[in-house]
């Protein structure tokens, strides 16, 4: 027998949708006028309120209270000063790298800076590698274009965790690359458990999110504009930077947004490919919540990261006044 049971929130969401739909019908019949479109959004709005807005409010609440529910700014002070007891626990668990943090006393800030720096590098690599890829894919003279699009999509059919673990079997000491090198008579190379391996994993996982927004914009672009540029004296390079690039900015901005945000908050990749030697801000938050059970400090850290992301998104949006990219700030 087919199991048709749903979790409670599934019934809730569907119920809300149904209520919204009936309300819409009633209203439109009563007023004898056009359907109010906003009513279609009611289930989604409800979903957003319960699972996005409320949690954010809760994070805010936890961030500014202590274990007993009293107002405090201690959680933020904890962010600056790592000599809090709770931080020492993590740093000890990190071994040597942790000891270095202890001596500097700024594990949280360091981790944040490191995360931002890694996210920046990842975004930059994705942009520089992804833009030409998108250009090739969108070039109407390239017969390979559609094939490339499919090749980019196929890895995304696989689970994100699986893809990362697959990289491990490539990079680890007894992995494919190293055993191949040894067969050729070379020494093995330490490929995993460093920040470059983490970066590789991030770029690999997030590259499609850079390529596709740019590809979509380029693909929609009227090819006659390039022809017009050539007609007016532009060679291929001039056409690229005078016409194609400026017109693809909305795609670039969505791409940057879609790569930068998950890069900053990523936590699985560093643990797998970095092997705990490198910690990113996402890992830190995760360990506050799940390892230490300190929701207050974890919330404070989340809040700090949210604010940073909002700031960087609003800076990005300045470059794209039409607002096709982003969608959050």
Partner 1 sequence: MMEQEHLIDLKDISKDFDGTTVLNHINLYVRKKEFITLLGPSGCGKTTTLRIIGGFEYPTTGTVYFEGKDITSLPPYKRRVNTVFQKYALFPHLNVQDNIAFGLKIAKTPRDEIKKRVDRMLDLVNLNGYGKRKVDQLSGGQQQRIAIARALVNEPEVLLLDEPLGALDLKLRKEMQLELKSMQQRLGITFIYVTHDQEEALTMSDTVVVMNDGKILQIGDPKRIYDEPANAFVADFIGESNILRGTMVHDELVHFSGFDFPCVDSGFGDNAPVDVVIRPEDIMIVGEDIGQIRGVIKSVLFKGVHYEMMVDCGETTFKVHSTIMQPQGSHVGLTIVPYNIHIMKPMAEEAHADA
Smallest gap from Cβ 150 to partner 1, in A, equals 22
Cross-strand partners of 65 = 71
The 221-240 contact track toward partner 1, x by CB under 8 A, reads -x-xx-xxxxxxxxx--x--
Tell me the site size for partner 1, rule CB under 8 A: 17
Smallest gap from Cβ 144 to partner 1, in A, equals 16
Return the SS3 of 270: helix
309, two tokens: 């992301």
Smallest gap from Cβ 222 to partner 1, in A, equals 6
Closest to partner 1 by CB, 143 vs 183, is: 143
Q: How many CA atoms lie within 13 A of 103 on its CB side?
A: 5
Residue 318 binds partner 1 (CB under 8 A): no
Which residue reads 């504009």 in tokens? Answer: 225
Question: Judged by CB under 8 A, which stretch of 70-78, 133-141, 241-249, 259-267 contacts partner 1?
Answer: 241-249
Which residue reads 């944040």 in tokens? Answer: 112
Closest to partner 1 by CB, 199 vs 253, is: 253
CA dihedral 151, 266, 250, 127 (to 10 degrees): -60
Closest to partner 1 by CB, 44 vs 241, is: 241
Closest to partner 1 by CB, 187 vs 231, is: 231
CA dihedral 292, 296, 297, 301 (to 10 degrees): 120
287, two tokens: 């360990």
Smallest gap from Cβ 63 to partner 1, in A, equals 42
Closest to partner 1 by CB, 16 vs 247, is: 247
Closest to partner 1 by CB, 239 vs 299, is: 239
Residue 246 binds partner 1 (CB under 8 A): yes
Smallest gap from Cβ 226 to partner 1, in A, equals 9
Closest to partner 1 by CB, 179 vs 238, is: 238
What is the distance between the alpha carbons of residues 108 and 292, in angstroms, rounded to a whole number?
A: 15
Question: Judged by CB under 8 A, which stretch of 70-78, 171-179, 198-206, 220-228 contacts partner 1?
Answer: 220-228
Q: How many CA atoms lie within 13 A of 241 on its CB side?
A: 3
Among 94, 243, 261, 264, binds partner 1 (CB under 8 A): 243
What stretches of the chain show up as alpha helix (H) in DSSP?
8-31, 42-48, 54-63, 74-80, 85-93, 96-104, 107-138, 145-153, 160-171, 176-183, 195-220, 223-231, 236-239, 245-247, 249-265, 268-273, 281-286, 295-318
Residue 242 binds partner 1 (CB under 8 A): yes
Smallest gap from Cβ 323 to partner 1, in A, equals 15
Smallest gap from Cβ 139 to partner 1, in A, equals 15
Smallest gap from Cβ 320 to partner 1, in A, equals 12
Quickly count: other Cβ atoms within 10 Å of residue 116's Cβ: 18
Applying the rule CB under 8 A, the residues between 27 and 66 that interact with partner 1 are none
Question: Which residues touch 133 (CB under 8 Å, ≥6 apart)?
Answer: 148, 152, 211, 215
Closest to partner 1 by CB, 12 vs 249, is: 249
Long-range contacts made by residues 180-188, C-beta under 8 angstroms, separation at least 24?
Answer: none
Cross-strand partners of 71 = 65
Residue 141 binds partner 1 (CB under 8 A): no
Smallest gap from Cβ 191 to partner 1, in A, equals 44
Closest to partner 1 by CB, 210 vs 229, is: 229
Residues that bind partner 1 (CB under 8 A): 222, 224-225, 227-235, 238, 242-243, 246-247
């Amino acid at each position: 027998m087919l199991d048709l049971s749903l979790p409670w929130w599934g019934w809730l969401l569907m119920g809300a949708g149904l209520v919204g739909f009936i309300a819409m019908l009633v209203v439109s019949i009563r007023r004898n006028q056009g359907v109010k479109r906003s009513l279609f959004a009611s289930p989604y709005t409800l979903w957003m309120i319960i699972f996005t807005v409320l949690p954010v409010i809760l994070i805010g609440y936890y961030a500014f209270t202590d274990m007993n529910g009293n107002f405090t700014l201690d959680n933020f002070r904890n962010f600056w000063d790592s000599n809090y007891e709770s931080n020492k626990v993590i740093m000890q668990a990190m071994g040597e790298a942790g000891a270095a943090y202890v001596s500097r006393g700024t594990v949280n800030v360091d981790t944040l800076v490191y995360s931002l720096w890694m996210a920046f590098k990842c975004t930059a690599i994705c942009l520089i590698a992804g833009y030409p890829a998108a250009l090739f894919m969108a070039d109407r003279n390239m017969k390979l274009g559609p094939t490339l699009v499919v090749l980019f999509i196929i890895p995304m059919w696989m689970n994100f965790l699986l893809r990362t673990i697959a990289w491990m079997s490539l990079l680890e000491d007894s992995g494919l690359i190293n055993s191949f090198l040894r067969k050729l008579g070379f020494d093995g190379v330490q490929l995993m458990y460093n920040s470059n391996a983490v970066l590789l994993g991030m770029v690999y996982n997030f590259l499609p999110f850079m390529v596709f927004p740019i590809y979509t914009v380029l693909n929609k672009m009227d090819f006659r504009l390039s022809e017009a540029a050539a007609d007016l004296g532009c060679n291929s390079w001039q056409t690229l930077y005078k016409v194609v690039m400026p017109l693809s900015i909305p795609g670039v901005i969505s791409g940057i947004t879609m790569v930068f945000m998950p890069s900053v908050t990523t936590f699985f990749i560093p643990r797998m490919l970095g092997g705990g030697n490198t910690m990113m801000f996402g890992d830190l938050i995760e360990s506050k919540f799940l390892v230490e059970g300190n929701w207050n400090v974890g919330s404070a850290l989340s809040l700090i990261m949210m604010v940073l992301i909002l700031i960087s998104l609003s800076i990005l949006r300045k470059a794209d006044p039409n607002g096709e990219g982003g969608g959050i700030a």
